[in-house]
Structure 1
Amino acid sequence: MVTKAIEILNSIIKNVLSALYQPFWAAILLAFLAMFLYLYAKEHKWKKNDFVRNMFATWWRAFRSSSNFRRTFLLAFYTAMILLRTVLNRAIWFDPLGKLFGGWGLYEDEQFTTESIENFMLFVPFSILLLWAFQKELLDESENIRFGKTVWEATKVVAVFSFMIEFTQLLFHLGTFQISDLTYNTLGGAVGGVIYYLVYSREKRKK
């Protein structure tokens, strides 16, 4: 009887802690962004009664008037989706190094998986949006961009971002740290850089 009660208590504690831990990092991120909004509102002396209206009005004015704002918003939106999929909405994984050298093919433990393709495809749009939003800052050339520099910058940023994701998964036991993930993510970033260069060059020749 006592053993059964202890098992039930342990199960309750585990489930409660898991329920709190899973949204923990998403909550941290939202709170961080909310405080930026609070600081902005305080700096511009928004009134309490008009807080929501001012927030949406300010955002909409910037979205309509600034193409750079729209590009950055799309990048931020897509980055948030990546983080929600890879870190912020993951369950606890008790052995994050258990598949360190796995995930290279389409079969894992004799089961079909598309994880490698997903990792590759996930970062192709990311690097395109990154270069689109921050072309001048990353490439130092507003008019003429070079193929090698474009692909290198996209690959470098995606590699660092991907490593940060994998390290966070390892540190907080949110998924598995896999070398294949780093490789496919980085390869997707490089391909995105190639696509961006080809599209940019084609559009420039039309002008």
Structure 2
Amino acid sequence: MVLFKTLINRDMWMNPLCDVWGVWGIYRYNTVTGQRILTSECIENFFLLMPYIVLMFWNFEEKIFGKKVYIGKIILKSIQIAFLSSLTIELLQLFLRLGTFQISDLFFNTIGGLVGGIIYFLVNAVAERIRRIRN
């Protein structure tokens, strides 16, 4: 899903550095007409890496965290993995000229990955509590 949305389903861009700062809100301003245009880029980027981080932690929990999982370790690892994954995607978009390189995409993908790590921790904590109650 991540590759399809960010690399595979894209058209070629002649100037991938035309909008480096990107869109930081849900509105983009048309400089010609002065109108606000509703855009969902920030929301899409926020939600893009959430399931990616949850599934990565779920599949590789022992390799990433070792035996004991702490919230601080989850926050640090989710920020690292989300940022590096997002940076890889953005650099591929830049070098392959598929989309534009945007700092806002890095930010919203990283925050979404952080929220995904927190969701993983909360679900894991609830599941552990349920296991303890049943035993």
**TM-score, length-normalised on structure 2?**
0.89
**Where does residue 202 of structure 1 map in the other structure?**
126
CA RMSD of aligned residues (A): 0.9
Q: Among the aligned pairs, what percent are the same residue?
A: 41
- Tell me how far 1:166 sits from its aligned partner: 0.2
Distance 2:15 2:81 in 1: 28
Distance 1:147 1:102 in 2: 31
- For the residue of structure 2 that corresponds to 1:161, the secondary structure is helix
- For the residue of structure 2 that corresponds to 1:111, the secondary structure is strand
**Where does residue 186 of structure 1 map in the other structure?**
110
- In structure 2, stretches of 5+ residues that fail to align are 30-35
- Tell me how far 1:108 sits from its aligned partner: 1.4
Number of matched pairs: 125
1:151 aligns with 2:71: no
Query: Aligned to 1:132, which of 53, 58, 69?
Result: 58
Query: Aligned to 1:119, which of 45, 60, 70?
Result: 45
| Runs of 4+ displaced beyond 4 Å | none
Greater RCO between the two (CA within 8 Å, min separation 6)? 2
Distance 2:100 2:116 in 1: 25
- Tell me how far 1:90 sits from its aligned partner: 0.9
Q: Is the radius of gyration larger for structure 1 or structure 2?
A: 1
Distance 1:133 1:187 in 2: 21
- In structure 1, stretches of 5+ residues that fail to align are 1-80
**Where does residue 62 of structure 1 map in the other structure?**
none
**Where does residue 6 of structure 2 map in the other structure?**
86
1:160 aligns with 2:80: no
Distance 1:159 1:126 in 2: 12
**Where does residue 30 of structure 1 map in the other structure?**
none
Code of the aligned partner of 2:73: K
| Greater per-residue helix proportion | 1
